[in-house]
Structure 1
Amino acid sequence: MTLATSNPLLATWDTPYGLPPFDRVKPEHFKPAFDAAFAEHRAELDAIASSPQPADFDNTVAAFDRAGRALARLDGLFYNLTSSETSPALQAVERELAAPVAAHNSAIYMHAALFKRIDGLHGKRHALGLNAEQVRLLERIHLDFVRAGAKLDAKAQARYAQVMERQAQLSTTFAQNVLADESGYRLLLRTEEDLAGLPDFVRAAARQAAVDRGIADAHVITLSRSHIVPFLTFSSRRDLREQAYKAWTTRGEHDGEHDNRPIAREILTLRREQVRLHGYANYADYGLADTMAGKASAVSDLLMKVWVPAKKALAEERTALKAMQLSLGESHEIEAWDWRYVAEKVRQVRYDLDEASVKPYFPLDRMVEAVFDCAQRLFGIRFVEQPQIKVYHPDVKVYEVRGASDQLVGVFLHDNFARPSKRSGAWMSSYRLQSRHGGQDVLPIVVNNNNFAKGAPGQPTLLSFDDARTLFHEFGHGLHGLLSNVSFERLSGTNVLRDFVELPSQIFENWLAEPEVLKKHARHYQSGEPIPDALVKRLEDARNFNQGYETIRYTASALVDMAIHSQEAAEAPDIVAFEAAELERIGMPRGVGMNHRLPHFQHLFSGSSYAAGYYVYLWAEVLDADGYDAFAEAGNPFDAQTAHRLRQFIYSSGNSLEPGKAFEAFRGRGPTVQAMLRKRGLLETAPG
């Protein structure tokens, strides 16, 4: 038996839509498959570089884009599994592969003969008779090479490759450490006193978590956001709230094998060395050079436009919370584990609104129907479930995505529930990117991951309004991949500048709050009755409630990210001490906390995509708030002409257009910040 026949990853994938053969894959298959894919990719690149034909777009640039498809197929499977359905054996392979994968990437972009051909074409790109997309591809590939070290001398390249390999190893360890802390924590609630204050939906989710973990006669709170946030919101046991909050916020910050403090510090030190080789003073300057923002001052300007008014809004919120505390007979200082609990009491009184009255109208199945319906009304696509197709976990649903003429345009996987083998958070990724080569359409395979607390058997999974917003957000990313309509994989879908990538996701959130969407899809899971108009009105009235708190938590994390990546010392500081000092410097209000503390800030340290880049959610919010106003101006949230422009220039164009020009083509002008400030309820208090 040959390696190709014994290893399903090396054989032809005789599966529907070219999905991976999930049922036949074992962890031990990956290392030999990657070795073979590396060799195949290197041979393809060597053939391009050594071609006797003069370099042209087709035989060099387009050929480079086509190369490595076997490796890309393998990447798509492996890294989706390590995020969504990992195991100790798979984690061991992930650690083993971290350095070889990084070394292969360095070998690609430091291939001198290949870069010589690309560099030559880049220098005369406007004289080659290329169309706009071809020029964009050539420019992006050339920049990829340069930013990966192609122009460094041989000695610097050798050190650069070592630095990148070590970073890959450390980032893998960082992510695995966070997962270990998350999956290992269990707050056991055994008595009615332990459960005090928790509504039925929180109790049901906690009981199901206990059942899933084989724990009898107890309820379990995990560190999944869909568990911890409701517990902090409703539990009247202040001592247990404090215990749970501290466990949540100290992930990665414990002595022992899962301590991320030295890991993050070494990553930062290596990033400093990496960018010094490029001639940059700090990592932020390097990271922002290839963004819409362009430089740190533009990021700081935007963050401070919300930081200052958010602090004023927070002070007003704190006054309301203190008054509520006094009415409850409490006088202690409001700590971070108290804020959500007291704020919920204020929300209930001020808006006659509480989570327990909202969640019955937001069953997961109905909300999935809502995102599909909005996509169909906007873009003419349908999602057709394929229940016969089994993938990597029984909870994952598979859909065909069909266009207006019933043509297949992609495949969508929906993975919605939290489990110990899955990392926290919510994200979209791809098993295969859309492209076209030689008239052959390559259809995308996209997956959305969420971490909702699963309902008990026979019971629906009920979402909070924030959960439903997350569902819409990730689906917006999914549409960005599914609706991609470009020729080249490098420009496909979400392969855009990182402060543009959140626009398609964040603008899609807006449809959740549209009254006609709520009336159609937000129906009581028992009676089927649509959400009452009065409740819709209360949700709208409460839209900006606690916005100062939420804005401070996000902006503090973004400011700390920018600060620590702006350091110029050769050795990175102690991350916990730095974080505390920076929060004091910017005047972080007491009792609020950050969205992500550095020891578990996976956006920054489980990879580099969001390093010096956590600001991108706010940058994209400027675009999405202004962009969604186009539908308001048209007088219809499903206006056909506006939706057509949104699809053409935002969802389908990938990186084939410069993002500023793409937004202007959709909106008719550049964005302004006022719509975002108004959306957050901060416009009146914003500085001039």
Structure 2
Amino acid sequence: MVDSVNPLLVQSTLPYQLPPFAEIRDEHYAPALESGMREQLAEVAALLADTAPATFQNTMIPLERSGQTLHRALQVFENKASNDSNAVTEALEEQFAPLLAAHRDAITLNPALFARIAAVHVQLDSLGLDAESHFLVERYHTEFTLAGAGLSDDDKARLRDYNQRLSTLTTRFEKNLLADTNELAVLINDVAELDGLAPAEISAAAAAAQERGLSGGYLIPLVLPTAQPTLEALTNRAVRERVMTASRARGIRGGANDNCELVLEITRLRAERARLLGFANHAAAVTADETAKSPEAVATMLGRLAPAAARNARAEQAELQAHVAGTGESFELAAWDWAFYAEKVRVATFDIDTAAMREYFELEKVLHDGVFHAATLLYGITFVERADLVGWHPDTRVFEVSNEDGTPLGLYLIDPYTRDSKRGGAWMNSLVSQSTLLQTPTIVTNSMNVQKPGVGAPTLLSFDEVNTLFHEFGHALHGLFAQVTYPKFAGTNVHRDFVEFPSQVNEMWMLWPEVLANYATHYLTGEPLPQQLVDSLQASTTFNEGFATSEYLAAALLDQAWHRRGADADAAAPVTDVAEFEASALAAVGLDNPVVPTRYSSTYFAHTFASGYDAGYYSYIWSEVLDADTVAWFTENGGLTRANGDRFRHRLLAVGGSCDPLAAYRDFAGRDADIQPLLDRRGLN
């Protein structure tokens, strides 16, 4: 019997259908997920019981309406597991990962359902559907085909086994990574060893230690990438080495949290699944349904950029080494020295100290007077905090978003602070996705991992954290603005190698003069960020880009190397050593510089082994071609204006995934994107 008091089993009566987080308990998740799966399978069975010939109305519409309970419960559960996990949710993740994979397969591999979709697809051009409905049929037919709907029964059984095993392994990878990241946080007992950090950063380290019961100590938590934000300021070289060593040790120390065997097993199973589906490798299976279309196209683009990036990084390395020598030191530059000496060279070259700029980037000002202000200028939308609505954690804040005419747009929730129960990185999610068919509103979220300061101290952001907030808010805008009929196309449900594009575009407003002047003021004096610093920021846009591009491309190419291995090649010469394979892959593309480590090593590469970017980490720079071209378009057409904002909103963001993304881009820009602005931006000419 369905538990009538389970808040996940009924539509929320709160504004915008905000989940009633104050009422949701750990024991609600399992019965809600189980009930949701049963309900959706019953809905599909009812669809298939219709004996009338398949039509758009009796096949596609009920399919789109199905699974609402499951979707509601799953969105809340996954949000909880990502932002505030505990032993119960971790166990539920492992328990339900294979069950949810089996549930998805029960739908996508159902031969009767595929036959109905195929029947509608055959007559598609004669149905007189509107463009979005036409595209819906195309997407379902493509996705079911690529998912294996046409396989034999025996092959479908093998496919189901692969999918369930992979869901379990990727869940375990992320669980191990979170545990190891927490264990490897660097404890400092002598505050003198934190020389170089700002008082607010030291306060945050003391608070982090206190939270773990390490009274009197200072804890430096690790963020997801290899590079750690404290490395640019810590003057003690031995401490910098400790931080970098801890970062790179994640998942490779043996024991319960070691991810090496998981990496090998995941890549092997993905290769075998790809062969079963008729593809040469997993990268081919993934890109077949992306804008890139093939791993060869990805390799061509990344291969064009990698040599120039590596060359630029070597030149930057020589400059940093010369700076070290100029200080009277004789050591050879190491990976843990790069950020520190890059800042020294940046200061010397451009008279700009990004660490000192923290005092001009106070979280409240950045959020309200920067991120929200830019959105108001560009799109006319406004934000009002709703203290009467609660999120999943006391640090979560809720804002109501309205259009310029006062009509409601949705809710925006932000959870900025790091904690042991939160996975690394920063991300956007949707709790409720807009759909005209389902008459659902929009609730989007942003999560970050900013270190929380001590009581009474301000939250001062680094330059990179400000950029991250603008980036993630770009995803949130994409989710808020999408106006579609079908839930399949809601918000950011677009091709993986297109989804980063709107978020990257939103980064441009961070340094836009009209926006920067409004938020970048000293947290104590209210003085604006000095114009000299603003000018220096603009002048230094390509500084250290050799390093930044190289570390990113190393990760993107490593992802491709793992996933371009076919099952036959793996069987003939299986990979047995993760570190050895990684070193060989990076050497093959000329990005094996030990002073410029890959942004993510395999054992903590959550994007590719746990977060859905497998064979797709190239997406960031693939999308950046569109992003850089869009920045050029805005600049050429008057910049931050309501007319430009409305054009970008309605022609590109509002369509969600309801049409071909490159067609949407052409509709917005009036042409295809040009790669030249990207090459200029990254100094790769």
Do they superpose with TM above 0.5?
yes
Is 1:594–2:598 an aligned residue pair?
yes
Partner in structure 2 of residue 504 of structure 1: 502
Residues 71 and 192 (structure 1 numbering): CA distance in 2 closer, same or farther, change over 3 Å?
closer
Is 1:456–2:460 an aligned residue pair?
no
Partner in structure 2 of residue 422 of structure 1: 422
Is 1:612–2:612 an aligned residue pair?
no
**Cα drift, residue 331 of structure 1:** 1.8
**Cα drift, residue 450 of structure 1:** 0.8
Whole-angstrom distance in 1 between the partners of 2:226 and 2:415: 17
Whole-angstrom distance in 1 between the partners of 2:260 and 2:387: 44
Q: Tell me which of 602, 607, 625 is aligned to 1:603.
A: 607
Q: Does the aligned pair in 1 maintain the 2:427–2:448 contact within 8 Å?
A: yes
Whole-angstrom distance in 1 between the partners of 2:226 and 2:669: 39
Whole-angstrom distance in 2 between the partners of 1:9 and 1:486: 25
Partner in structure 2 of residue 155 of structure 1: 154
In structure 2, give the amino acid aligned to 1:513.
L
Q: Tell me which of 514, 517, 522 is aligned to 2:520.
A: 522
Q: Which structure 2 segments of 5+ residues have no match?
A: none
In structure 2, give the amino acid aligned to 1:675.
P
Q: Does the aligned pair in 1 maintain the 2:651–2:668 contact within 8 Å?
A: yes
Partner in structure 1 of residue 629 of structure 2: 626
TM-score (norm 2): 0.96
Whole-angstrom distance in 2 between the partners of 1:591 and 1:483: 42
Partner in structure 2 of residue 392 of structure 1: 392
In structure 1, give the amino acid aligned to 2:87.
P
**Cα drift, residue 551 of structure 1:** 0.6
Residues 359 and 626 (structure 1 numbering): CA distance in 2 closer, same or farther, change over 3 Å?
same
**Cα drift, residue 661 of structure 1:** 0.8
* Correspondence list, 1:8-19, <5 A: 8-19=7-18
Whole-angstrom distance in 2 between the partners of 1:267 and 1:35: 26
Q: Which structure 1 segments of 5+ residues have no match?
A: 684-688
In structure 1, give the amino acid aligned to 2:255.
G
In structure 1, give the amino acid aligned to 2:454.
A
Q: Does the aligned pair in 2 maintain the 1:364–1:463 contact within 8 Å?
A: yes
**Cα drift, residue 648 of structure 1:** 1.5
**Cα drift, residue 528 of structure 1:** 1.4
Whole-angstrom distance in 2 between the partners of 1:645 and 1:17: 26
* Correspondence list, 1:516-595, <5 A: 516-568=514-566, 569-571=569-571, 573-574=575-576, 575-587=578-590, 588-595=592-599
**Cα drift, residue 226 of structure 1:** 10
RMSD: 1.6
Q: Does the aligned pair in 1 maintain the 2:381–2:401 contact within 8 Å?
A: yes
Question: Secondary structure in 2 aligned to 1:194?
Answer: helix
Whole-angstrom distance in 2 between the partners of 1:227 and 1:142: 40
In structure 2, give the amino acid aligned to 1:671.
A
**Cα drift, residue 77 of structure 1:** 0.3
The superposition leaves residues 88-142 of structure 1 with CA deviations (integer Å, 9 ceiling, x where unpaired) of 1110111111111110000011122111111111112111111111111111111
In structure 2, give the amino acid aligned to 1:589.
N
* Correspondence list, 1:475-494, <5 A: 475-494=473-492
Partner in structure 2 of residue 242 of structure 1: 241
Question: Secondary structure in 1 aligned to 2:8?
Answer: coil
**Cα drift, residue 172 of structure 1:** 0.5
Whole-angstrom distance in 1 between the partners of 2:41 and 2:260: 36
Is 1:656–2:642 an aligned residue pair?
no
**Cα drift, residue 11 of structure 1:** 4.3
Is 1:337–2:339 an aligned residue pair?
no
In structure 1, give the amino acid aligned to 2:530.
P
The superposition leaves residues 649-684 of structure 1 with CA deviations (integer Å, 9 ceiling, x where unpaired) of 22111111211111111111001110001111222x
Whole-angstrom distance in 2 between the partners of 1:441 and 1:376: 26
In structure 2, give the amino acid aligned to 1:616.
S
In structure 2, give the amino acid aligned to 1:501.
V
Q: Does the aligned pair in 2 maintain the 1:383–1:399 contact within 8 Å?
A: yes
**Cα drift, residue 52 of structure 1:** 2.3
Question: Secondary structure in 1 aligned to 2:429?
Answer: strand
The superposition leaves residues 267-295 of structure 1 with CA deviations (integer Å, 9 ceiling, x where unpaired) of 11111111111111111111110111111
Whole-angstrom distance in 2 between the partners of 1:11 and 1:493: 23
Q: Tell me which of 625, 649, 652 is aligned to 1:647.
A: 649
In structure 2, give the amino acid aligned to 1:604.
T
The superposition leaves residues 302-340 of structure 1 with CA deviations (integer Å, 9 ceiling, x where unpaired) of 112221211221122112111110122222221111111
In structure 2, give the amino acid aligned to 1:56.
T
Question: Secondary structure in 2 aligned to 1:580?
Answer: helix
Whole-angstrom distance in 1 between the partners of 2:38 and 2:185: 45
Question: Secondary structure in 2 aligned to 1:435?
Answer: coil
Q: Does the aligned pair in 1 maintain the 2:563–2:615 contact within 8 Å?
A: yes
Kindly, what percent of the aligned residue pairs are identical?
39
Whole-angstrom distance in 2 between the partners of 1:589 and 1:227: 14
The superposition leaves residues 416-470 of structure 1 with CA deviations (integer Å, 9 ceiling, x where unpaired) of 1111110000000111111111xx6311111111111122222211111111110
Residues 515 and 227 (structure 1 numbering): CA distance in 2 closer, same or farther, change over 3 Å?
farther
Partner in structure 2 of residue 686 of structure 1: none
Question: Secondary structure in 1 aligned to 2:280?
Answer: coil
Is 1:466–2:464 an aligned residue pair?
yes
Is 1:637–2:636 an aligned residue pair?
no
Whole-angstrom distance in 2 between the partners of 1:612 and 1:224: 22
* Correspondence list, 1:85-100, <5 A: 85-100=84-99
In structure 1, give the amino acid aligned to 2:625.
V
**Cα drift, residue 3 of structure 1:** 4.0
Whole-angstrom distance in 2 between the partners of 1:111 and 1:435: 26
Whole-angstrom distance in 1 between the partners of 2:12 and 2:221: 37
Whole-angstrom distance in 1 between the partners of 2:598 and 2:221: 19
Is 1:346–2:345 an aligned residue pair?
yes
**Cα drift, residue 228 of structure 1:** 6.9
Is 1:260–2:259 an aligned residue pair?
yes
Q: Does the aligned pair in 2 maintain the 1:50–1:113 contact within 8 Å?
A: no
